[in-house]
Structure 1
């Protein structure tokens, strides 16, 4: 009988607690790499810190505070995914290619949409505070 199993990465072979600890280590490495090499990530993280402090001080219900903070955390998540896409595209080839450009532009557009969502969320929640409505 022919072995029909797909090749498995050596990084996927861990199970149980070892896998969890490895995943935490990979995540910390990802944050460190993003902090060191991604200007947009550092800028957005700065905004998240300021927005979190502001949201916690605002006289709005807890769920709205969570939403105000959460939309900026979503921006960070999408920025990390965008950076991952860019890293993979650059790993494949540094040559200019329309497909590579599309991949990077799609990631950038996703970040922009997340920023628009964050801005709209803040506007909708804060509008009544400033207009009395």
Structure 2
């Protein structure tokens, strides 16, 4: 039987790489910071409006969906720029498609927020 190469030390170290990635996007990516501020505002509004547990799940999922899309878009952009520094229509196409994922996730999150928050805000008026 083959010996497993599993190591707790390596698993813990892998988290440090992930946290380093978050640090990089926080420091270098304006759009990530914008999405994070929007996420914080959505969380605050969710708390103030006392949304249900299921609505919390939808809000948290929407926030994660947008942030993950932003991270993947950033990774695709950096990889594309690394592979081809000059202007290239194929690279532009790839980057545009990755950016479209961020827009679609953001619009989805906005729609979820509107569905959850507007009825509650209207009840306050």
Aligned mates of 2:86, 2:6 — CA distance in 1:
38
TM-score by length of 2: 0.86
How many angstroms apart in 2 are the aligned matches of 1:49 and 1:127?
A: 18
Aligned residues: 119
- Which residue does 1:71 correspond to in 2? 62
Partner Cα distance (1:39, 1:60) in 2: 29
Report deviation, 1:130.
Answer: 4.1
Gaps of 5+ in 2: none
- RMSD over aligned Cα, in angstroms? 1.5
Q: Of 8, 11, 27, which residue of structure 2 is paired with 1:36?
A: 27
Residue 45, structure 1, aligned to residue 22, structure 2 = no
Per the TM alignment, residue 18 of structure 1 is displaced from its structure 2 partner at its CA by 2.3
CA contact (8 A) 2:49 2:120 kept: no
Structure 1 stretches lacking a partner, 5+ long: 1-13
Name the CA distance, whole Å, in 2 between partners of 1:128 and 1:36.
Answer: 36
Task: State the match for 1:54 in structure 2.
Answer: 45
